Structure 1
Amino acid sequence: NAGMCWASQDFVRILENVKARGILQSTFSYFFLEQNKIDKKKIQENFNLTAGELDIILNNPGKGEGIFRIGDSSVWIQTDPSDKEMMFIESNEAVLQELLNNMKKVQGYAG
């Protein structure tokens, strides 16, 4: 058995990449966080989300709020990630640096 974690707020970029699309096709569980409204049709075509599920991920969900889907079953979920967890997934260098600086100040984190 193997596992993989892939995070993106740009679903269409993954969909249009041949190698990345293969990962999507062989994945059984998904965690949909906020997506761009422009991508609504592509998301609906590829994942068959309900109108309510689309509403959650397209209309300014809260931090960590989204849809967790396993097979054909979905549930609304809201996570409360720690700063360390956010560091793992953050791709914006300026935001990452701010997280690191805050951790050093608040927690005495030595990096």
Structure 2
Amino acid sequence: NAGMCWASQDFVRILENVKARGILQSTFSYFFLEQNKIDKKKIQENFNLTAGELDIILNNPGKGEGIFRVGDSSVWIQTDPSDKEMMFIESNEAVLQELLNNMKKVQGYAG
């Protein structure tokens, strides 16, 4: 068994990448976080989310709030990631550096 974790708030960018699309096509579990409203049609076409599920991810969900889908089953979920987990997933270098600096100040984190 193997697993892969992708996190993105830009679904269409992944969908339009040929290599990434192959991963999407063979994935059974998805965690949808906030998505841009202009991508609603593409998301609906590719994942057949309900109107309620789309409402959650398109209309300013709370931090860590989204839809977790396994196969054809979905559940609303809200995560509460730790600072270390946020470091793992953060792709914005400036935000990552700020997280690291805050951890060093508050926790004496050595990296």
Deviations 1:24-76 (A, max 9, x none): 00000000000000100000000000000000000111110000000000000
Q: How many residues align?
A: 111
**3-state SS of paired residue (1:84):** helix
Q: Which runs of 5+ in 2 are unaligned?
A: none
Q: TM-score, normalised by structure 2?
A: 0.99
- Please give the root-mean-square deviation of Cα atoms over the aligned residues, in Å: 0.5
Cα distance in 1 between the residues matched to 2:23 and 2:103: 34
Give TM-score, length-normalised by structure 1: 0.99
Q: How many Å separate the matches in 2 of 1:63 and 1:17? A: 27
Distance of 1:10 and 1:23 partners within structure 2: 15
SS at match of 1:110: coil
Return the alpha-carbon distance in structure 2 between the equivalents of residues 75 and 8 of structure 1: 18
Identity %: 99
**Secondary structure class of the residue paired with 1:104:** helix
Structure 1 spans left out of the alignment, 5+ residues = none
Task: Say whether residues 1:11 and 2:26 are aligned partners.
Answer: no
